[in-house]
Amino acid sequence: MMLDVRRINACGLNLEGCGVKKIIVEHLKYRYPQSTELALNDISFEAEEGEKIGFIGCNGSGKSTLCQALTGLVPHFYRGAYGGHVTVDGMEVMSSSISEIAVKVGIVFQNPFTQVTGAKETVYDEVAFGLENLGLPRGEIITRADAALKLLRIDRFKDQAPFSLSGGQMQRMAIAGMIAMRPRIIVLDEPTSQLDPQGSDEVYQALDDLSAQGLTVVLTEHKIEKVARYCDKILILQNGRSMAFDTPAQLFSAKNTEAWGVRPPVYTRVCRELLRPPAGVYPVTLAEAGEALANWEVIL
């Protein structure tokens, strides 16, 4: 049998799409109408297929605005002053319509209550709503909606009224509705803000499954331990400016992120106090910290 060398690397890993740029943001500047300040000020970063990118920063630093710039809501819906370029899955946002972009980029907003249509009587209908708008055949709608409900573990609520759900269940319903549309890029603005620790872990597990399937995931998150464990790269925003874009380990080891209003994960802070890192890079997760505490030289 012929091996398709384009898709398999030396380690046998499937590299289909590897290295394909899914998001390219170049010198993006944006000001809301009637505002005198730039909400986004010269932002540049890139994301590849299957990568998980986190936006972090203080309240008002521009995380949600940048999320909306990836979906075209900035500038097409909000209007305002816009400069630079945003390209998603090969599509230039400025010269595409919101509905064209919506096929490629799904978003879950910061407040899940705003995402519920209010027009549907059951959770199932709410999740299937976007699919019906796409005009898909009935069987395809059922398959996709059922799969999304199961992935987010809310299939047992499917016959309930959307507004009878808790905040966390509603957040998962919003994610399910977006996933069912099968976008190539998903943007989640504080996806676990309403969830308890177990619910958060389940959402991150679902996102892991999706990025393993090649989806590019962008999220904002105030829980630094979560974003450091989950994301491949982190963009730190402060007052609409990009202060750093790097892997969690490089970012929290090499830079003084506190100056930008971001505290490193507690595991990194503990290890900084206690240990001398052999390679100059500190742990960012609990598992890495446990390993380092067992093996690295202790500062006396």
The binding site for ligand ATP (CB under 6 A) comprises: 32, 35, 39, 57, 59-65, 110
Q: How many angstroms separate the CA atoms of 48 and 5, rounded? A: 20
Instruction: Report in angstroms how near the CB of residue 289 gets to ligand ATP at its nearest.
Output: 27
- Residues touching Mg ion, count (CB under 5 A): 3
Phi and psi of 31, rounded to 5°? Answer: -130, 130
21 neighbors 46 (Cβ within 8 angstroms): yes
Residue in the shown chain whose Cβ atom is closest to Mg ion: 64
Instruction: Report in angstroms how near the CB of residue 110 gets to ligand ATP at its nearest.
Output: 6
283 neighbors 250 (Cβ within 8 angstroms): no
Phi and psi of 96, rounded to 5°? Answer: -120, 160
181: tokens are: 């549309």
Q: Which of 41, 61, 64, 71 binds Mg ion (CB under 5 A)?
A: 64
Give which of ligand ATP, Mg ion, none residue 117 binds (C-beta under 5 to 8 Å, depending on kind).
none
194 binds Mg ion (CB under 5 A): no
Instruction: Report in angstroms how near the CB of residue 64 gets to Mg ion at its nearest.
Output: 3
Q: How many angstroms separate the CA atoms of 24 and 300, rounded? A: 46
DSSP letter at 48 equals E
Give which of ligand ATP, Mg ion, none residue 162 binds (C-beta under 5 to 8 Å, depending on kind).
none
Query: Which lies closer to ligand ATP via its Cβ, residue 77 or residue 163?
Result: 77
Query: Which lies closer to ligand ATP via its Cβ, residue 116 or residue 235?
Result: 235
Instruction: Report in angstroms how near the CB of residue 262 gets to ligand ATP at its nearest.
Output: 12
Cβ count near 278 (within 10 Å):
10
Instruction: Report in angstroms how near the CB of residue 37 gets to ligand ATP at its nearest.
Output: 6
204: tokens are: 């991150």
Cβ count near 227 (within 10 Å):
23
Instruction: Report in angstroms how near the CB of residue 298 gets to ligand ATP at its nearest.
Output: 37
Query: Which lies closer to ligand ATP via its Cβ, residue 60 or residue 214?
Result: 60
Write out the binding residues for Mg ion, residues 29-58 only, by CB under 5 A: none
Amino acid at 12: G
DSSP letter at 19 equals T
Q: Which residues bind Mg ion (CB under 5 A)?
A: 63-64, 110
